[in-house]
Amino acid sequence: MTGGATGIGLGIVRRLLDDGASVLVAALGPEELKRAVGGLPDTAGFAGDLAVPGEADRMVAHALGEFGRLDILVNNAGGGVIRPTLEHTEETLRATIDNNLWTTIRATLAALPPMVERGYGRIVNIGAESVRNGLVDHAIYNAAKGGVHAMCTGLAREFAHAGITVNTVAPSYVQTPEITEALAAGRFGEQYLNVLERATELIPMARPGSVADVAGAVAYLAGPDAGFVTGQAISVNGGSSMG
């Protein structure tokens, strides 16, 4: 479980644990990792930047050492700079692509060999509904997440014969505990608040998604009931885009 120490990632970790999985939680820093997995049963931790060559290989080796096999990879590591396109810098462009696309590519490439060897695997990527609905100020973020969506379909076809499914869960605006806390503390600037307002306006159900909404979709795709589902982008969006 990459990006598993906070927000949507931690919610998915808890759901997978409830469903009986043992989970390696990967995050950037050891302190956030300690806060996340401390007290959780059947978990191990890995701290590293998965956009850096070699780190994903170390993560998979650690998972195999802890649990003896790798059945599921959830690619949730991400986070980018959301701003008007012409305000991006070389640094923010690189960070947005690295954090969302390269982390997913490297983790997937590291996880595939042991899955192919066993003839079984479930890869679930966390994409973004903004790829479909064109949410304001998300063009560069969408370029990265759009790459994740596109890679999903190619891998699904390439590895279907090996018993491996590859799918993407695409959430719309999800109000994580961290966002709720930041809103209450007034830590968001006006520009970001405007983005959140626009995101909510796009949702016919007139509410943000919850972490549990996303975790439920991931749990389905990662489980045995989705054995004939592959190459799909499942929108968890309250109806913000349809069809």
Summarize pLDDT for 154-200 with one digit per residue, the tens. Answer: 999 999 999 999 999 999 999 999 999 999 999 999 988 998 998 99
pLDDT value of position 6: 96
Instruction: Please report which confidence band the pLDDT of residue 44 belongs to, taking 50, 70 and 90 as the band edges.
Output: very high
pTM more than 0.85: yes
Residue 1, pLDDT > 90, answer yes
Contact call for residues 187 and 194 (beta carbons, < 8 A):
no
Candidates 141, 173, 192, 220; catalytic one: 141
The model's pLDDT over 114-146, given as tens digits with 9 standing for 90+, comes to: 999 999 999 999 999 999 999 889 999 999 999
Contact present, 164 and 115 (Cβ < 8 Å): yes
**Which tokens in the block code for residue 186?**
């007034």
Buried b (16+ CB within 10 A) or exposed e, 129-162: bbbbbebebbbbbbbbbbbbbebbbebbeebeee
Is 203 strand, coil or helix? coil
Q: Catalytic: 220? A: no
Rounded Cα gap, residues 71 and 22, in angstroms: 10
